[in-house]
Structure 1
Amino acid sequence: MRVSGKTPGALGGTGTSGSDVLVIGGGIIGLVTAWRAAQRGLTVTVADPEPGGGAAQVAAGMLAAVTELHYGEQMLLGLNLASAARYPAFVEELEEASGRDTGFRSCGTLAVALDSDDRAHLRELHALQERSGLESVWLSGRECRRLEPMLAPGVRGGLRVDGDHQVDPRRLASALLTACERAGVAFRRTTAERLTVERGRATG
C-alpha cells in the first residue's frame, strides 16, 4: 500500500515519511514483497517488531506441492507446481543478492507410514497423485529404511517424491533481511496499531 507524509500514531506513534510502500509484517512473504518492491525502484518501509521472526523460526520449510496435495485442492495444484518450478531460480537470485545460504535442498521427500492407518492414507494420496498426473513412487517398509536407515523397524511403507524440495526458513529469512537492507528497505521495529485511510487510500 502507498503511504506518504507523517501521520502521528500510525506506526507505533511515529508514522512513516516519504515511503512509496508500507509492508506490515516482516515474515517471509512480507520480506519478499518489500525486496521485490525495492528492486523496482520504490521506497519501502517494513513495520514489524522482529523482522524475520515469528513462524519463519519454527516452520518446517517444506516445498512439497506433490506430497501435500489434498482432496478438494486440485485447483491449487497448477499454481503450486508453477511456484515450485520457479523456486530454484528465486533462491539463486536471493543468495547472490544477500551473500547468504538459504538452506535450499532438492533431495526429494520421503513420507512414511508408521501404522496401518498411515499406510491407508498414503495409499489414497498415492492414487490421487497418480490421477493428477504427478510422479511419486510407493515403497515398502524395507525400501524406506534403505533410503533412510534411521527409520523405525515398524515402518509399513511410504511415498518417495523426488520433485518435492525443502528450504531452511531461518536461513531464508536471514537472507531476505540482508537482501532488503542492501536494496534500501527501511525497517520500523514496532507494531502497526492502525492505518490512516484518506479518500480510499492508506496514507499512514
Structure 2
Amino acid sequence: MEHTTDVVIVGGGVIGCAIAYYLRKANVDVMVLDEGEIGGQASSAAAGLLAPLGPLTGPGPFADLLLASFALFPSVVPELEDLTGLDLGYEQTGALRTVSNPKRVSNLQQRMEAWQPLGLKMQWLTGDEARQMEPLLAPGVCAAIYVPEESQIKAPQIVKAFANAAVKLGAKIYSHKKVTSIQREENKVTGVKTAEGDTIACDHMILTTGAWTGLYDSWLDISLPVVPHRGQIISMKQPATALRYIIFGGSAYLVPRDGSIIIGATKEEVGFDIQVTNEGLSWLYKSAAKLVPSLQGSKAELSWAGLRPKTPDKYPILGAAPGWQNVTLAVGHNSVGVILSIITGQSIAQLVTTKETSEITLPFSLNRFVKKHSSNTQLAQSTLES
C-alpha cells in the first residue's frame, strides 16, 4: 500500500510527538511511525522532572536551550490540557539540592554561584533550615539549595497529550509500524518502507529514534553517536508524614507524586537491556533511605527501567543531517527529553517550514562531532607524516 505525506517522523516518543504537534500547528501534513507503542520507551519511563539546574554548570548554549524550554511549560501545559482534556500533572513542587558530606559544602556553594547568573530563584539553607522546610530530611544533610521554581510533570501524560493534540489537528500517528528502509534519490529521501510492505512517500524525514538512533547509521551513511544508557527507577508509598519537595542528593532524586515517592535513577551502560536488577534496586533503596530515613525498610510499589539516548557530550543532536537535502535529526536528548520537548518541537517545526535553523539550536548540530573526528584524523595524519 502506498501513502503520501509532507513529513515522516520515525519515532513516536515525546520528541517525535511534540514535533508532530508543532508541524500541524503550521499546517504541515505529518505522519509519525513507531515500531512499538507511542511513548513506550524512555518517554514513559522518565520521572518527569522539570528541574533544569542539575545538568548545568553555568551559562552557555545548553543552559539557554534548557531554560528556554523550561520557561514555556506554564503556557504550553494549559494549551495541551484544553485541547486534549488530559491532566498532565504539572506542579511547581520546588526542589532541595542537598549535600551530606561537610567536605562537599564548598562544592555546592560553587555550584550555586555558577547557577545564579541563570536567573532562577534560589536560596542557600543550612542543614537545620532545610529540615525546617522538609522535616523528613536526614540529620546528616548539612546544607541545601532551595529552588522554588523547579517542577515536575507526568511524563507518559505529556507524550499522550502531544500525540492526541497532534491527531486532533490532523496528524496521523501509528504504533507498531516499523520502518525498515528509506527510499532515496542521491542525497534526498523520497520515502520510507515499513515491515508490512507499505511505502510512504514524503518530502522530508525526521529521525526521533531515541536510544536506538545509532542503529540507523546505514540509512544515512553518517555516524550517529547515540547509545543507550539505562536508568532504573522505583516508587514507594509516602510515609505518614508526606515528603513535600523534590530532593536531590548523592546522585539520586526523590519526587513526591500522587501518594507515592518516585526514586531514581541509576546510570548504566548495558546496551539495550531494560531489566530491573537487584543491584539497581539496592542502590535506589539505600539512596532513598540516606536522604529520608523514614523510608528505611520500605518496599517498592513499582520498579521499572528505561533507556536514555546518550551522546558523547550529553547534549542533544538537533538540525539538518549533514549531506542530506531533507533529513532532520532530533535525537540524543539524554535525561532531559521531557523538559526539552517543547523547544525541540518548536525549533524543528521552524526548520522544516522555513528552512532556517533557530539560533538557539545551532550549537547542537551533528557537525560538532564530524568536525572533531575530522580534526583528530588530520592530527593523526600529520603525526604519521612527521
Same fold (TM over 0.5): yes
State the distance in 1 between where 2:74 and 2:120 align: 19
Q: What's the counterpart of residue 81 of structure 1?
A: 67
Equivalent residue, structure 2, for 1:148: 134
Q: Secondary structure at the match of 1:151?
A: coil
For 1:52, the equivalent position in structure 2 comes to 39
Q: What residue number does 1:195 align with? A: 182
Equivalent residue for 2:92, pick from 91, 100, 106: 106
How far is the alpha carbon of 1:135 from its aligned partner?
3.2
Task: List structure 1 segments (4+ residues) > 4 angstroms apart after TM superposition.
Answer: 131-134
Classify 1:118/1:98 alpha carbon distance in 2 versus 1 (closer, same or farther; 3 Å): farther
Residue identity opposite 1:54 in structure 2:
Q
Q: Against the structure 1 CA distance between its residues 75 and 184, is the aligned structure 2 distance closer, same or farther, given a 3 Å change threshold?
A: closer
- 1:170 maps to what in 2? 156
> Could you tell me whether the CA contact under 8 Å between 1:129 and 1:135 is conserved in 2?
no
How far does residue 118 in structure 1 lie from its aligned partner after superposition?
4.8
AA aligned to 2:37 is: E
> What's the counterpart of residue 14 of structure 1?
none
Q: CA deviation at 1:107?
A: 2.7
CA contact (8 A) 1:112 1:155 kept: yes
What one-letter code is carried by the residue in structure 2 that aligns with 1:55?
A
Distance 1:112 1:196 in 2: 52
List runs of 5+ in structure 2 lacking aligned partners.
192-386
The alpha-carbon deviation at position 158 of structure 1 amounts to: 0.7
Could you tell me whether the CA contact under 8 Å between 1:67 and 1:161 is conserved in 2? no
Query: Out of 34, 39, 49, which is 1:62 matched to?
Result: 49
For the 8 Å contact 1:195–1:202, the answer to whether it is kept is: yes
Percent identity among equivalent residues?
31
**CA 1:131 to 1:83, structure 2 compared with 1: closer, same or farther past 3 Å?**
closer
Cα RMSD after superposing both structures: 2.2
Q: Which residue of 2 aligns with 1:135?
A: 121
More strand by share: 2
Contact 1:38 1:184 in 2 (8 A): yes
**Deviation for aligned residue 1:131:** 5.0
Q: Which runs of 5+ in 1 are unaligned?
A: 7-16
Q: Distance in 2 between matches of 1:134 and 1:187?
A: 37
Tell me how far apart the structure 2 counterparts of residues 190 and 116 of structure 1 sit (CA, whole Å): 53
Aligned residue pair count: 189
2:83 and 2:177 mapped to 1: Cα distance?
Answer: 26
Show the counterpart of 2:4. 18
